[in-house]
Structure 1
Amino acid sequence: MKARSVITLFATAYVLSFVDRQILALLIGPVKADLGLSDFQFALLNGLAFALFYSVLGLPVAALADRMPRPPILASGVALWSVATIGCGFSSNFWQLFACRTCVGIGEAALVPAVYSFLADIVPPARLGRTLALFSLGSFVGAGLAFLCGGMVLAALHDATSWHGIAGWKLCFMAVGLPGLPLALSIALGVREPAGRVYAQTGHAAGPNPSAWAAPRYMARHWKFFTLHFLGYSCTAIILFSLMSWTPALLGRGRHFSHQDVGLVMGLIAIVCGCGGVYTSGRLIDLLASRGHADAPARVGLTGAVAAPLFLLAALSMSANVAFVLLLAVAFFFASFPMPPSALVVQQRVPKALRAQFSATLLLCNAMIGLSGGSMLIGYLDDHVFRTAGGVASSLGWVVAGAAVVSALCIAATRPYLRNPEPANG
């Protein structure tokens, strides 16, 4: 299979992964009403249930991806998260839905680290920035499709009513989980490892196979840089995931949008602004790098970390819905900027045999700090601190503003390291 076809399959998998993980954010109203959940419990389902095993299992799965053929790992992951998403539609209480969301996270743990290392093997370095950016588009296409399709299904079923005894939100889970099964089969049958790649079980080596302690030792030698990198971009993940997870509640509660309108607004913003931001980010990195700026990824990531919260806070101050949506769209555009540089730096500055494990470490930090920690903090503040009708807006604003300060400081501090090539192959 040609490289372009492989990239298309991987991008499709990434799209479906975000459809399956993001659909819950749109369904916050009917799920809370049907299962009797608080905002904090919903945050657990939307954040911790998914992120816990997604992040923890990402490390051993990435180690396997550095040592074994990656297509079977990828196909198994796609199949597992698809079945688990369908299982969400059969859940009748908090713990059943929590267990299914956990399995979604387990399946998705197999995707990104293996894909990142695979792309770095088949794409020339000069094009890697834009390729990773194009792959990252899948997250926003998937989130947008989840919002659009979910909103239409709920509208067709008159929000929370049922179809043949099945609640509308359950049908949404079943519908978005099904397409992953044929995709898993396509990856298993159609994708092959690049020629000459080293993996442990063959006995054929183009180079030494890394020991189990190679990644921790490399991390320890360059701990200052990687601490700043992982923490900085995890805080940008708080900004992005908080917007994606809690803006639907903000539109529905504070702005009184219908489920269909929420799905339409969020879907278009995610697809147009999210994809536009990621693509612009990747092109900017390549452009700045071609002009000799070794710290190009940090410059682009820092731009997003600073600009996105400013436009969000401006949006939250607007009483007119049109102005609010327009400023929110710009905030999404810049919130997507840090995605390509966070991944690109790892691929460029980590030895080839350790790329998947370091990508998994980045995803662990993003999931536990960005997705789980940020979402739970907003849910807690909304339940216990800002308990008025506009509490979601206050909680979202404070959490995003705090994350922006930390992320900007950390990313700015990585710039001297990026100008020094030593950590890349040390």
Structure 2
Amino acid sequence: MPDAAQRVARGSPPSSSADRRTSSPQPTLKKQPKGRTSRGNTMTDDTIGERPADPAPRRTAYHYYVVAVLVLIYAVNFLDRQIMAILVAPIGKDLHLSDTQLGMLSGVAFALFYATLGLPIARLADRYNRVRIIAVSCAIWSGFTVCCGLAGNFLQLAAARIGVGIGEAGGSPPSYSIIADYFPPQDRGYAMSLYSLGIPLGITLGTAFGALVANTYGWRVAFFAAGAPGIVLAVLLVTTVREPLRGGLDRLKQASITSSLPTALRAFFSNPVLRSTALSAGLSAFCGYGATAWAPAYLIRTLGMTLPEVALWYSLVNGVAMATGIFLSGWVADRWARTNPGAYALMPAIGLLITLPFFIGFLTAHSWTLALLLFVVPGLTFSMYLAPALSVIQNAVHPSERSTSGAILLLMINLIGLSGGPFLVGWVSDALAPRFGAESLRFGLAALIPAILLAVVVLFRGAVLLRRRAAAAQA
């Protein structure tokens, strides 16, 4: 009779309640002292390698159903996050907020709590039922999205955005871990790219839906309507998605690892590959979040686009471009990495180099039609870092540390990217507004160009480290 790992790999339900308790280790594996691997490190490739795994586990429709449900939840996650960007103009006018305050609401107020609380929640997800944690988190952030529509001033809106960040902290890291237990290592870049399609889907829905509803009923109703789908999806997730066996598709040297959060952080940042991946992802996110948070306002305020036009054209162009970039980055990187281990860093680095002239053209265009056409390439390349980075992280750590590792990656992405990018653009725009007026947003967005160049440098360094790691593993 097949064992529990084989049943989960095929998408079959566990045969008993004991099988469903996925934290139970394989009895034939020798456990190491608590908090350490056989070489004393909780988060390195040394934790994976001895137990034979099925070289070609059969993927079923159920595996893709699990990803589809998680994609929808991720889309709602980004819808509730992105809707703030499209509502910047009416919120600022109604509540009398500056660009700096609006930048803080789009970035810092959300990202600080989203990033920092992601770590303790991820530790829970590495030990307890990940499906239930995601469902509860989804219900929380959806409720606080509704609260955003009740805000009457900056502080109230900031408090509601903080609540959204607290809820969303429990969404992605457990999802990464679940997907890694449904797909084998050689397919995880592809699987992560499928999951990451929730980002453009959510951004597109947030832009189109937010603009249309705000234009018809006002920005408060847009928040009310955006919060409702998350409650339904939370119920769907907890009733239809099974918790997979941790590490069932990996070759493990030990059954489980339990370490403290400080130990996990030290182990992560002492690993050169993980450290470089997290830093390059943070810098790439700085550029992407800074651009997407302010592109709608730039097109409206500086180039004269209307909210209905943003809802139709910007949401469509940016959504399709981003989805294409995310999918291709994971799919191509998985295949390129078979001959070049540095592909997971080279893919986003090349993308950012290609995007530079198009981004500059976007900032110098004098019509929204030309600007939007030029923004296709940045929209495609700004998110190319995510699926490859997730694949590197999930493959490099022990299955019992995957949620925590994903949370650490998101910590860097959000503290550097989501906190810094939108705030910098808003701050530069405010500083130059007395002199340049509505044109100041061009200069605010142009402040992202040095970050693009720095991200490219760090990504190329990461490619070197990935190749060295692969060569050392073969030696």
Q: TM-score, normalised by structure 1?
A: 0.91
Which whole-Å CA distance do the structure 2 matches of 1:364 and 1:352 have between them? 19
Which whole-Å CA distance do the structure 2 matches of 1:317 and 1:144 have between them? 24
**Counterparts in 2 of 1:220-259, with a 5 A limit?**
220-222=269-271, 224-259=272-307
Which whole-Å CA distance do the structure 1 matches of 2:309 and 2:265 have between them? 48
**How far is the alpha carbon of 1:308 from its aligned partner?**
2.6
Residue 220 to residue 380, structure 1, CA distance change in 2 (3 Å): closer
Match of 1:362 in 2: 409
Which whole-Å CA distance do the structure 2 matches of 1:262 and 1:411 have between them? 33
**How far is the alpha carbon of 1:329 from its aligned partner?**
1.4
Counterpart code for 2:64: R
Matched, 1:352 2:402: no
Q: Structure 1: 5+ residue runs without aligned partners?
A: 158-167, 199-205
Match of 1:183 in 2: 233
**How far is the alpha carbon of 1:220 from its aligned partner?**
4.8
Aligned residues: 405
Which whole-Å CA distance do the structure 1 matches of 2:162 and 2:294 have between them? 20
Match of 2:345 in 1: 298
Match of 1:105 in 2: 165
Runs of 4+ deviating beyond 6 Å: none
Match of 2:251 in 1: none
Counterpart code for 1:183: L
**Counterparts in 2 of 1:145-184, with a 5 A limit?**
145-157=205-217, 168-184=218-234
Which whole-Å CA distance do the structure 1 matches of 2:236 and 2:384 have between them? 31
Among candidates 367, 376, 382, match of residue 423 of structure 2: 376
**How far is the alpha carbon of 1:52 from its aligned partner?**
1.1
**Counterparts in 2 of 1:19-34, with a 5 A limit?**
19-34=79-94
CA RMSD of aligned residues (A): 1.9
Which whole-Å CA distance do the structure 1 matches of 2:141 and 2:207 have between them? 19
Q: 1:104-154: CA deviations, max 9, x gaps?
A: 111111111101111111112222111111111110110001111112123
Q: 1:210-232: CA deviations, max 9, x gaps?
A: 2215423422532x433322221
Counterpart code for 1:254: T
**How far is the alpha carbon of 1:235 from its aligned partner?**
1.0
**How far is the alpha carbon of 1:91 from its aligned partner?**
1.1
1:336 aligns to what SS in structure 2?
Answer: coil
2:375 aligns to what SS in structure 1?
Answer: helix
Residues 381 and 395 in structure 1, CA contact (< 8 A), matched pair in contact too? yes
Among candidates 276, 281, 288, match of residue 336 of structure 2: 288
The answer to which structure has the higher helix fraction is 1
Which whole-Å CA distance do the structure 1 matches of 2:288 and 2:74 have between them? 17
**How far is the alpha carbon of 1:209 from its aligned partner?**
3.4
Among candidates 170, 195, 201, match of residue 141 of structure 1: 201
Residues 147 and 262 in structure 1, CA contact (< 8 A), matched pair in contact too? yes
**How far is the alpha carbon of 1:384 from its aligned partner?**
1.3
Match of 2:355 in 1: 308
Counterpart code for 2:401: L
Match of 2:265 in 1: 216
Which whole-Å CA distance do the structure 2 matches of 1:386 and 1:337 have between them? 32
**How far is the alpha carbon of 1:197 from its aligned partner?**
6.3
Q: 1:181-211: CA deviations, max 9, x gaps?
A: 011111122222114669xxxxxxx813322
Residues 89 and 169 in structure 1, CA contact (< 8 A), matched pair in contact too? yes
Residue 266 to residue 207, structure 1, CA distance change in 2 (3 Å): same
Which whole-Å CA distance do the structure 1 matches of 2:469 and 2:207 have between them? 42
Which whole-Å CA distance do the structure 2 matches of 1:138 and 1:225 have between them? 26
Residues 58 and 110 in structure 1, CA contact (< 8 A), matched pair in contact too? yes
Residues 287 and 451 in structure 2, CA contact (< 8 A), matched pair in contact too? yes
**How far is the alpha carbon of 1:265 from its aligned partner?**
2.4
Q: Highest CA radius of gyration, 1 or 2? A: 2
Matched, 1:393 2:442: yes
Q: TM-score, normalised by structure 2?
A: 0.82
**How far is the alpha carbon of 1:304 from its aligned partner?**
2.3
Counterpart code for 2:305: F
- Structure 1 stretch 270-279 or stretch 343-352: which is displaced more? 343-352
Residues 141 and 270 in structure 1, CA contact (< 8 A), matched pair in contact too? no
Counterpart code for 2:423: M
Residues 255 and 321 in structure 1, CA contact (< 8 A), matched pair in contact too? yes
Q: Structure 2: 5+ residue runs without aligned partners?
A: 1-10, 12-61, 249-253
Match of 2:321 in 1: 273
Residue 420 to residue 353, structure 1, CA distance change in 2 (3 Å): farther
Residues 53 and 102 in structure 1, CA contact (< 8 A), matched pair in contact too? yes
Residue 370 to residue 11, structure 1, CA distance change in 2 (3 Å): same
Q: 1:227-256: CA deviations, max 9, x gaps?
A: 322221111101111121000110111111
Residues 239 and 309 in structure 1, CA contact (< 8 A), matched pair in contact too? no
Match of 1:12 in 2: 72
Residues 237 and 366 in structure 1, CA contact (< 8 A), matched pair in contact too? yes
Q: 1:279-336: CA deviations, max 9, x gaps?
A: 111121022123x111111110112222233311122122243321111112111112
Residue 365 to residue 221, structure 1, CA distance change in 2 (3 Å): closer
2:305 aligns to what SS in structure 1?
Answer: coil
Counterpart code for 1:339: L
Residue 264 to residue 412, structure 1, CA distance change in 2 (3 Å): same
2:259 aligns to what SS in structure 1?
Answer: coil
Residues 67 and 209 in structure 1, CA contact (< 8 A), matched pair in contact too? no
**Counterparts in 2 of 1:32-47, with a 5 A limit?**
32-47=92-107
**Counterparts in 2 of 1:45-84, with a 5 A limit?**
45-84=105-144
